[in-house]
Structure 1
Amino acid sequence: MKLTLFSAKSYDKHYFTQTLQAHHPDITLTEHPFALTSETVSLAQGSTAVCVFVNDTLDAPVLHALHSYGIRAILLRCAGYNNIDLPLAESLGFFVANVPSYSPEAVAEFAVALIQTLNRKTHRAYNRVREGNFNLEGFLGSTLYGKTVGVVGLGRIGMAFARIMRGFGCRLLGMDPYGGEEFVKELGGEYVGLDVLLERSDIVSLHCPLTEGTRHIINKGSLGKLKRGAMVVNTSRGGLVNTRDTVGALKEGILGGLALDVYEEEGDLFYNDHSAEIIHDDTLMRLMTFPNVLVCGHQAFFTREALSEIAQVTLGNLEDFRLKRSCRNSLVREGHLLVEGDKEPVRL
């Protein structure tokens, strides 16, 4: 079997190669550092499956091209799947599986790191002290103990984040369309609607997938309901936040702080070095002029443990596809099967 990775970095190659050598020696790996698009899809020819990441494009032209090459398995080495046309993938007979949870603590811990960095201004202190300036002016923060933290999305990452914030002694508010029984029983949190959460929270942290229902959940209207001076943190998907609206809220003083590990227009920027180039995204550049804004390059997942788990689950999904081809068994052991297509025989 041949697996082709798109948007592959050195760390992807390391952990996938390590896992292949230990558990899947008969799978051949090919890596491409660039994203899967209609311009690059031809490089997937001859593959059994393709493996993609958050900023790869799997729209109609790409899916039809993959189908014409005889490829029937698409493996997402991430939780999100908003970049793939799932109804079309199903109609074409693709097997599509993602990695729904890879070290949820990694993302949750990074969200907390962003909060503490923005709150206590440790990034600014680091730079000031290196210049021999030990003045504390401008570094005044707040004690997290006793603050109200709103958690939007109570899945594995949201719950991991809530547990950490409970350890800080914070009051917890939670919102999730699928309910929050565990959040209430285990953590003593309060399950509320989004408007109430925004009105009462000192910190709002987003941990939900990007769907049509959650796109721009943080917008001019919801920001107007926010407790004045509150902080918003997004480590989930960039499209959850209307960036232009946050610029306005920052200028008006409604937002006390904004920490983003994801950005709605990150596709052409993140995971690559643009330090010697002119970045033409004026909204992002304006955002980074605010002293109370942190922007990172989608790195919340980036731990040894998470990368190892991503490789193991993704390759386990590929094994399940191989099993399905031979005996039509549709079980996926650890990953989550998004689409199971059986419209046409797959190429052996």
Structure 2
Amino acid sequence: MKLLVYSAKEFEIPALKRANNNVHQVTYISQALDTHTAIKAVGYDAICIFSGDDASLVVLEKLKDLGVKYITLRSAGYNNIHIKAAKRYGLRVANTPVYSPYAIAEHATALLLALNRNIILADKQVHAHNFLLDGLMGFDLHGKTIGIVGTGNIGSVMAKIMHGFGCKILGCDLIPDHNLVELCGVEYTDLDELCSKSDVISLHVPLTYENYNLISKSRLSLMKKNAILINTARGSIVDTTALIEALENKEIGAYGADVFDRERGVFFKDNSKTGIVNEQLIKLLSFSNVLLTPHQAFVTEEAIKNIASTTFENINAWETGNTCTNELGYETLITG
């Protein structure tokens, strides 16, 4: 099968090549998929895209006209692809549902620890030969209440990590995980109560119609004044305008994220010479109690290897006519 890989990054190409093992004809390009680059897929049976690529209705229509039949995503989330349109155009879509929940949950923990213990400030001060402890006060995680929104593959790992710290854990999920109740003492509750009672809130839900701006102005107002909000899910889970207002008014303690609601055109690029123009992103980065990383939580050796393996498992299944276990159910109506 001829496969075009969009948004190919230097660090992932070796793993993808090993997973392919010279079976398929693969071309790697660094450009993201959008209305302008869709034409590059002419002559290809399948494309492989990342979470920052644009697979909206217009793009999918172009891909269908170019003869593309399959789309596999190197991500678990698929909010960037219009699944309903894909079904209409006869495009088959699969994702990488589980590549390393540990990578994401451990990164969420790193964000939390760095914010709570003021690691970034401490590092800057020490590098400037300032060894004072002023402004470095944190708090023990032990005994604190951690709210985990979404206790699926990643959220369940986060719960186990926080249980290891000796935290009380509140969970919010449509389907409670009874194993977590037994193993970690997770208490399930509704989202509003979780927001009001938690010292730390960590988000691990997919971006859907229902979850768009799930953390709204009203829910931010419920949070404790010193609460730390962690987001390694998707940027649009949080209402960015309301978040900035809450930070300005000191209504929450800190925000740590690996995502932003308008990453396209900014993330996965070196903007150091050109700068960025998104005013909300600039504003977020101006807060000393905001820690933002460039969507790097998945960048571990294990995760990259698993993503590559799953990518070609999907392609192999389609080419051989076998069931692709990761093919997305078209009853899911999510738009990019």
Which category describes the TM-score, using the shorter chain as reference length?
Answer: over 0.9
SS in structure 1 at match of 2:7: coil
- The corresponding residue for 1:337 is 327
Mapped to 2, the partners of 1:10 and 1:57 lie a distance apart of 20
1:125 to 111, 122, 139: 122
Structure 1: give runs of 5+ residues left out of the alignment.
Answer: 341-348
Decide which moves more: 306-315 or 57-66: 57-66
Q: Is the 2:314–2:324 Cα contact (8 Å) retained in structure 1?
A: no
The offset of 1:129, in angstroms, is 0.8
1:236 to 233, 248, 261: 233
Mapped to 1, the partners of 2:329 and 2:181 lie a distance apart of 33
- The corresponding residue for 2:141 is 144
Residues 54-95 of structure 1: per-residue CA shift (max 9 Å, x gap): 111112221112112221110001001111111111122121
The 1:16/1:331 distance shift into structure 2, 3 A limit, reads closer
The offset of 1:106, in angstroms, is 0.4
Taking structure 2 as the reference length, what is the TM-score of the superposition?
0.96
Q: Is the 1:174–1:180 Cα contact (8 Å) retained in structure 2?
A: no
The yes-or-no answer on 1:88 pairing with 2:81 is: no
The 1:339/1:50 distance shift into structure 2, 3 A limit, reads farther
The offset of 1:331, in angstroms, is 4.0
The offset of 1:170, in angstroms, is 0.3
Taking structure 1 as the reference length, what is the TM-score of the superposition?
0.93
The offset of 1:12, in angstroms, is 2.2
Mapped to 2, the partners of 1:311 and 1:241 lie a distance apart of 30
Mapped to 2, the partners of 1:35 and 1:278 lie a distance apart of 19
The offset of 1:339, in angstroms, is 4.6
Mapped to 2, the partners of 1:28 and 1:64 lie a distance apart of 24
Q: Counterparts of 1:84-123 in structure 2 under 5 Å?
A: 84-123=81-120
- Indicate the percent of aligned positions where both proteins have the same amino acid: 39
Mapped to 2, the partners of 1:331 and 1:302 lie a distance apart of 25
SS in structure 2 at match of 1:9: coil
Aligned length: 331
Mapped to 1, the partners of 2:30 and 2:171 lie a distance apart of 39
Mapped to 2, the partners of 1:41 and 1:19 lie a distance apart of 25
- The corresponding residue for 1:158 is 155
1:50 to 39, 47, 64: 47
- The corresponding residue for 1:4 is 4
Mapped to 2, the partners of 1:61 and 1:191 lie a distance apart of 41
SS in structure 1 at match of 2:253: strand
- Which amino acid in 2 is paired with 1:178? I
Q: Is the 2:160–2:184 Cα contact (8 Å) retained in structure 1?
A: yes
Mapped to 2, the partners of 1:267 and 1:160 lie a distance apart of 28
The offset of 1:32, in angstroms, is 1.2
2:286 to 280, 284, 289: 289
SS in structure 1 at match of 2:124: helix
Q: Is the 1:174–1:183 Cα contact (8 Å) retained in structure 2?
A: no
- The corresponding residue for 1:180 is 177
- The corresponding residue for 1:344 is none
The yes-or-no answer on 1:253 pairing with 2:253 is: no
Structure 2: give runs of 5+ residues left out of the alignment.
Answer: 331-336
